Amino acid sequence: MAKYKYHILICGGTGCRASESDQIHKQFDIILEEKSLEEDIQVIQTGCFGFCEKGPIVKIMPDNTFYTQVKPSDCLEIIEEHIIKGRSVNRLLYEDPETKKHVEDSKHMGFYKKQLRVALRNCGFINPEDINEYLANDGYLALANVLEQKNPMAVIETLKKSGLRGRGGGGFPTGLKWEFAAKNKGDQKYVVCNADEGDPGAFMDRSILEGDPHTVIEAMVINGYAIGSTMGLVYIRAEYPLAIQRLKIALDQALEYGFLGDDILGSGFNFNIDIRYGAGAFVCGEETALIHSMEGNRGEPTFKPPFPAESGYKGQPTNVNNVETYANIPVILNKGWEWFSSIGTEKSKGTKVFALAGKVNNVGLIEVPMGTTLREIIFEIGGGIKDGKEFKAVQTGGPSGGCLTQKHLDTPIDYDNLLASGSMMGSGGMIVMDEDDCMVAIAKFYLEFTVEESCGKCSPCRIGNMRLFEILEKICAGNGTREDLDQLRNLGNVIKDASLCGLGQTSPNPVLSTIDNFWDEYVAHVDDKKCPAGVCRDLKRYEIVPEACVGCTVCARNCPVNCIEGERKQVHFIQQDLCIKCGACYDKCKFNAIIIK
């Protein structure tokens, strides 16, 4: 790498590629060739930088200059100004929203200051399609050491001491899981990587596979050696074409370099990895369901015990871990368990990746030490709420989690604190909501998801969630009663107690947590037939403020049912009995003369 004067890193994650980062790459190549600079400057497409809000991102190394929202037409200026003349292109630098000053260096951006990137250490830093770049950053070092030391139990011991817990949601201690799988006997044990990220609004596993696929491969081989397995399987969503493509390239390279296949690094240990495709079923994130799906069946969960460590894929001892969990393992082995367990809280060690999205200024992928507070994440890293609105809630844990509020902002986040607050860690989705979001409608949104994704095997989940959804629909339509609110609570608790798998046991969380934290909002829907956030269509009432109306007729012309009347330059009014509450007038009015009541 040393022979290049500059490296131009372009984000090649799904988000930035959707905004033409591929074109930017091509444009740079063309310009560099024209100017005969291709010997001095290297252009690399990396994995996700995390700062998706301002994508596409282009970073110039070694200066660490961070350009945001770059367009293909900006490439020439970057080359001529930055590369040739050594002056940064100010208009493309990130502007600090508070000081209004340009920030040259990503290290000084609020978004990155509080972050500690362990699982994401290589994302946005190396070219994921080149194994040499992974090798240059301690890649496969942990594997080499493990194979040299020939002590599988020592690996498991290190993981146990590190305190690493499963990052897929459950938070089960990883070392313990490996120990069970190691102790159980079988003809052919299996190592499975769960990359079936089904939680809507979570994209951390995909970003790791897109940005640093070798770390997952390395950890799986170590996993195989530690538990005595020679076969690994990656179960990945078919909806992630880029992650699949990069994983395949990485597998081929690892095989070619001798980190996979027979007699790995001359140790006599054999290990192979195969890819299995998911086909869009949220429940397949549950490990028994995932195993049934890999066997070619409907992905329905089964009762545990027997745990997969005893009888999993094809009835053999199987260890299932999530992508992010695997991404932590090579670092723990390289830096030692003492280092890892020094980060985080008493019972949750290390860092956690979150997909921060929703009504927050800096949407993106972040990684913070366990124990960081929601306030730090949302207001410092996330840069606060969009458009200066009021923070209302943050949803963690996806459809299995709950909504946390103002009062939870200073709680240090870890597995146990989130559970105690009525939510859960889940895979790490974090959706921020503002004053314009109706919590009853959000609960309904999640329930609709659960109803669709319930596999239908056990009745509390199949029927119970449907009933919860129907009650929420009734409330949003303005027909709810106080008895319905009691019913939501009772039924929710029954579903949690009586369901077979994690999906059903957690599916009422969005309802129960919003009832607990936003009781007044539910009451307003039921007693006053009002939706305070102005979201629920049937409870909305659009009105024209006479003082603000100038009689421009735009609303009347855009009303699809012609229910707005009024002469030109006269105050208009809405015929409420005809109004279908579509909101077209509200969106079109330039004078804020239409309000929602």
Partner 1 sequence: MSHVKIVLKTEQVDEIKAICKAFHNDEGELINVLHKVQTFFGYLPAEVQEVIAHELRMSVAKVFGVVTFYSFFTMKPKGRFPISVCMGTACYVRGAEKVLDEFKRHLKIKVGESTPDGKFSLSSLRCVGACGLAPVVMVGEKVYGRVSSEDVKKIVAEYND
Residues at the site binding partner 1, with contacts judged by CB under 8 A:
14-15, 17-19, 52-55, 198-203, 206-207, 238-240, 276-282, 293-299, 314, 355, 357-359, 363-364, 395, 398, 429, 431, 433, 437, 442, 445-446, 449, 455, 583, 587
Asked if the peptide bond before residue 97 counts as cis, ω within 30 degrees of 0, the response is no
- The smaller minimum CB distance to partner 1, of residues 111 and 326, is found at 111
- The smaller minimum CB distance to partner 1, of residues 37 and 582, is found at 582
User: Do 475 and 525 contact (CB within 8 A), yes or no?
Assistant: yes
Compute the least distance from the CB of residue 536 to partner 1, in Å: 12
> CA 330, CA 335: separation in Å to the nearest integer?
9
Helix (H, G, I), strand (E, B) or coil at 369: strand
Helix (H, G, I), strand (E, B) or coil at 78: helix
- The smaller minimum CB distance to partner 1, of residues 60 and 355, is found at 355
Which of 201, 475, 449, 425 is closest to 322 using CA atoms? 425
Compute the least distance from the CB of residue 30 to partner 1, in Å: 23
- The smaller minimum CB distance to partner 1, of residues 433 and 564, is found at 433
Compute the least distance from the CB of residue 429 to partner 1, in Å: 7
- The smaller minimum CB distance to partner 1, of residues 55 and 464, is found at 55
Compute the least distance from the CB of residue 82 to partner 1, in Å: 24
C-alpha distance from residue 155 to each of 219, 230, 322, 453, 557 (Å): 11, 17, 18, 37, 71
- The smaller minimum CB distance to partner 1, of residues 355 and 461, is found at 355
Compute the least distance from the CB of residue 575 to partner 1, in Å: 21
- The smaller minimum CB distance to partner 1, of residues 286 and 437, is found at 437
Compute the least distance from the CB of residue 363 to partner 1, in Å: 4
- The smaller minimum CB distance to partner 1, of residues 307 and 445, is found at 445
- In 418-519, the DSSP E strands lie at 429-434
User: Do 473 and 461 contact (CB within 8 A), yes or no?
Assistant: no
- The smaller minimum CB distance to partner 1, of residues 278 and 492, is found at 278
Report DSSP state, residue 173: B
Compute the least distance from the CB of residue 304 to partner 1, in Å: 21
> CA 239, CA 566: separation in Å to the nearest integer?
51
Compute the least distance from the CB of residue 24 to partner 1, in Å: 15
Which of 264, 206, 198, 272 is closest to 233 using CA atoms? 272
Compute the least distance from the CB of residue 149 to partner 1, in Å: 36
C-alpha distance from residue 324 to each of 72, 108, 196, 368, 533 (Å): 33, 26, 12, 13, 36
Which of 563, 568, 526 is closest to 542 using CA atoms? 563
Which of 538, 438, 475 is closest to 483 using CA atoms? 475
User: Do 57 and 70 contact (CB within 8 A), yes or no?
Assistant: yes
C-alpha distance from residue 229 to each of 76, 123, 269, 429, 466 (Å): 52, 29, 10, 32, 42
Compute the least distance from the CB of residue 498 to partner 1, in Å: 22
- The smaller minimum CB distance to partner 1, of residues 271 and 282, is found at 282
Residue 474 has a CB neighbour count (10 Å cut-off) of: 15
Q: Can you spell out the DSSP letters for 223-243?
A: HHHHHT--EEEEEEETT-HHH
- The smaller minimum CB distance to partner 1, of residues 54 and 572, is found at 54
349-388 in b/e form (b: 16+ CB < 10 A) is bbbbbbbbbbbbbbbbbbbbbbbbbbebbbbbbbbbbbee
Compute the least distance from the CB of residue 316 to partner 1, in Å: 13
